[in-house]
Amino acid sequence: MNNQSRRDFIKRSALGGMTLALAGTLPSFSWGADEQPLIFFDGFTNIGPKRGKHPAERWSLKHLVDEMEHCSISGALVASVLSVTYDPMYSNLDLSSRLKPYPHLFAIWNLMPANTDEFPAPKELGALMQEHDVRAVTVHPTGNNWDWKTPEAIALFGWLMENRILTIIRPEEFGGLGGVKELLNTYKDLPVLLIGVYWSFQRTILPMLSAFKNLHISFENFQINEGLESLYHDGYIDQLVFVSNAPTMSAGAHRTYVDYADIPREAREKVAGGNLSRLLRGLRPPAARENSQEDMLMRAIRHGKPVPAPIIDMHMHILHEGLNGTGWHYRMYHGGPSGVFKLTKRLGYVGGGIMSWNGVVSVDSANGNVTATEALDAAPEGYWGLANFDPAHYSQAELKKMIPEVYKDKRFIGMKPYLHYGIPYNDPSYDVWWKYGNEHHLYGLLHSTRPDLQEIETLAPKYPNVRWVIAHAGSNFKMADMAIAAMKKYPNIYAEITLTPVQLGIVEYLVEGAGEDRIMYGSDLPMRDPRQQLGWVVFSSLPLAVKRKVLGENVRHVIQPNLDSMPVYNIPEIFRKYRKT
């Protein structure tokens, strides 16, 4: 089948596929009912000083306790950075001592084999763990530079397996997922919780859940689209554990993924804490903890109700109807229009900017614009399009013809180049697009090709009628600093937040530095599930009115110049009153 035939086939099949998808294949619970909130027991948090830490990054026990109180997290397992970067046993005992005033916090100890006169043998270790009621451990063969296949290490892992002690690991500590498989094969009855795995490893991780019933996974980085729904459907619900990695990451972001999961309450209770309690032989938080000062947005999520604020997503991708992946290493379950718009409707979206995936990451820009057009044809009210043009694959003469042709469709008001095109955005070959955008008051969403923001700072004064939006401004505090500096220099630069790390405090940091009118919500769906990005904003410490701005209201500053030319259908309803005609 040639490319055109395949596209025609997919297009002809779209309506039928969308009808099936909208009918739904996954079990559905009564989402939106005012049910009792879930009790969350966090499977991994981590405190202590870190190398290269940004001054604004959270790290302390107080930061953790405050975040748990703010997000109504009832209990947590707590690891210490120092148990890896200083003497493990000294730091383990120190951690247990520091956690004594907090009956809802439980220590995770870092272990090593007893072959270098640094760590007790399993029998003595067992007595110490019993004395301090330690029921979960970590191991760092790479970080602490020990061989996990020596006789002493084999004795340690055998003892852990014999006593069914929950062992929390990261893939890089075993040389990657291949090493993790070897560990699971060797110690078949050792309960393992694998953390720190990214959404891009789905094609390896998902088969492992079937092969190794002693494997459990978390979602703090494994932010896969409709992950809990698909894994519940596939029968893996008993292997899923809520983990926040607070205070580095936002606990509210990760609880939202569970609170809004479209699975029965019993299944959500298992993920929120039930599975962890089972792995810890019945250990559970002594009491439910709730933030009595939470605002109405936080309360809505905890009670399983839509957020009572307009949500507009500035960073949305789309696949062809019926697709669950995009090649390379990307799987995106239900990534076509029917799946995406079904989920956004449930979450309370009122609009957003749609761009293709194939035109961006797959660098098939011309066909990407077709994909985005078809998605807009299927979209609910309030959604508009961003177009892709690639000066590496098309000549300047071709671009001069292609650009106005696409923008004849007034639903397209955005410009989305991409770093995979291989050309800096301030290269003259892009000028034909930027000039058109400046003349027609379009906006641009830019994922920088460089580690700095030189491109956008060059383009902003040169094309002042374009609103330049920094993509992924919340990726880390260093990027946030650069974004704040750029926004302070140029009034036509804005920022959207999305990225996997969902670092605690960074949304507030951006707002404080650049102003409450310049920061916008984005999710990057369906590459990542939008719920964690949404919870990142909702469970921030921003005032309620500012949260509303970030979630949707600030978008008007970017699309205001286009409101009179856009079809009314594609304007979020809250902005239609601002049209002049």
Per-residue pLDDT band for 17 (boundaries 50, 70, 90) equals very low
Q: What local confidence, expressed as pLDDT, does residue 33 receive?
A: 56
Angle between helices 122-131 and 151-162 (to 10 degrees): 40
For 174-204, b/e burial (b = at least 16 CB within 10 A) is beebebbbebbeebeebbbbbbbbbbbbbeb
Residue at 394: amino acid letter: Y
Q: What local confidence, expressed as pLDDT, does residue 27 receive?
A: 36
Q: Find out whether 193 and 166 touch, Cβ atoms under 8 Å.
A: yes
Read off the tokens for 39.
């009790």
Q: Find out whether 297 and 308 touch, Cβ atoms under 8 Å.
A: yes
Instruction: Give tens-digit pLDDT for 202-260.
Output: 999 999 999 999 999 999 999 999 999 999 999 999 999 999 999 999 999 999 999 99
Instruction: Give tens-digit pLDDT for 19-28.
Output: 333 333 333 4
Per-residue pLDDT band for 1 (boundaries 50, 70, 90) equals very low
Q: Find out whether 34 and 305 touch, Cβ atoms under 8 Å.
A: yes
Q: What local confidence, expressed as pLDDT, does residue 327 receive?
A: 85
pLDDT at 69 over 60: yes
Q: Find out whether 80 and 110 touch, Cβ atoms under 8 Å.
A: yes
* Helix H or strand E segment including 372: helix 365-378
Per-residue pLDDT band for 34 (boundaries 50, 70, 90) equals low
Cα dihedral 375, 377, 378, 382, rounded to 10, equals: 90
Q: What local confidence, expressed as pLDDT, does residue 20 receive?
A: 31
Model pTM score: 0.93
Distance (Å, rounded) from C-alpha 573 to C-alpha 513?
Answer: 30
pLDDT at 503 over 80: yes
Cα 32 to chain centroid, rounded: 23
Q: What local confidence, expressed as pLDDT, does residue 153 receive?
A: 98
Cα dihedral 235, 238, 240, 242, rounded to 10, equals: 140
Distance (Å, rounded) from C-alpha 301 to C-alpha 475?
Answer: 24
The stretch 39-60 carries a mean pLDDT of: 98
Q: What is the mean pLDDT of the chain?
A: 94
Q: Do domains 41-300 and 310-578 have the same CATH topology?
A: yes
Instruction: Give tens-digit pLDDT for 346-386.
Output: 999 999 999 999 999 999 999 999 999 999 999 999 999 99
Distance (Å, rounded) from C-alpha 403 to C-alpha 376?
Answer: 18
Q: What local confidence, expressed as pLDDT, does residue 338 receive?
A: 97
Distance (Å, rounded) from C-alpha 47 to C-alpha 96?
Answer: 12
Pick the range with the lowest mean pLDDT from 33-37, 112-116, 419-423: 33-37
Instruction: Specify the CATH number of the domain 310-578.
Output: 3.20.20.140
Q: What local confidence, expressed as pLDDT, does residue 165 receive?
A: 99
Largest Cα–Cα separation, the chain: 80
Q: Find out whether 530 and 345 touch, Cβ atoms under 8 Å.
A: no
The stretch 555-568 carries a mean pLDDT of: 98
Helix, strand, coil % over all residues of the chain, rounded to 5: 45, 15, 40
Per-residue pLDDT band for 328 (boundaries 50, 70, 90) equals confident
The stretch 118-125 carries a mean pLDDT of: 97
Q: What local confidence, expressed as pLDDT, does residue 147 receive?
A: 97
Distance (Å, rounded) from C-alpha 564 to C-alpha 580?
Answer: 6
β-sheet with 443-446: strand ranges across: 311-318, 349-356, 383-387, 412-415, 443-446, 467-470, 493-496, 519-520
The stretch 406-410 carries a mean pLDDT of: 99
With H, G, I as helix, E, B as strand and everything else as coil, classify residue 133.
coil
Tell me the residue length of the chain.
581
Q: Find out whether 191 and 154 touch, Cβ atoms under 8 Å.
A: no
Q: Find out whether 306 and 32 touch, Cβ atoms under 8 Å.
A: yes
Distance (Å, rounded) from C-alpha 340 to C-alpha 279?
Answer: 34
Cα 363 to chain centroid, rounded: 23
pLDDT at 318 over 70: yes
Looking at the DSSP bridge assignments, the partners of residue 356 are: 318
Looking at the DSSP bridge assignments, the partners of residue 496 are: 520
Preceding amide of 247 cis, omega within 30:
yes
Q: What local confidence, expressed as pLDDT, does residue 329 receive?
A: 85
% of residues, the chain, pLDDT over 90: 93
Instruction: Tally the C-alpha atoms within 13 A of residue 456's C-alpha that lie toward its C-beta.
Output: 36
Nearest to 469 by CA among 481, 453, 478: 453
Q: What local confidence, expressed as pLDDT, does residue 330 receive?
A: 86
Nearest to 414 by CA among 554, 552, 553, 555: 555
Read off the tokens for 517.
């009118």
User: In the 3-class helix/strand/coil scheme, how is 241-264 assigned residue by residue?
Assistant: CCCCCCCCECHHHHHHHHHCCCCC
Q: Find out whether 364 and 358 touch, Cβ atoms under 8 Å.
A: yes
Instruction: Give tens-digit pLDDT for 159-176.
Output: 999 999 999 999 999 999
pLDDT at 141 over 60: yes
Residue at 173: amino acid letter: E
- CB 15: neighbour CB atoms within 10 A? 12
Looking at the DSSP bridge assignments, the partners of residue 495 are: 470, 519
Nearest to 242 by CA among 270, 214, 279, 278: 270
pLDDT at 11 over 90: no
Q: Is the dihedral of CA 563, 567, 570, 573 positive or negative?
A: positive
Distance (Å, rounded) from C-alpha 224 to C-alpha 196?
Answer: 13
Measure Cα distances from 116 to 76, 119, 149, 399 in Å: 32, 7, 15, 66
Q: Is 249 exposed, middle or buried (0-12, 13-18, 19+ CB in 10 A)?
A: buried
Q: What local confidence, expressed as pLDDT, does residue 21 receive?
A: 35
Q: Find out whether 367 and 335 touch, Cβ atoms under 8 Å.
A: no
Domain ranges of the chain: 41-300, 310-578
Instruction: Specify the CATH number of the domain 41-300.
Output: 3.20.20.140
Nearest to 10 by CA among 347, 321, 294, 268: 321
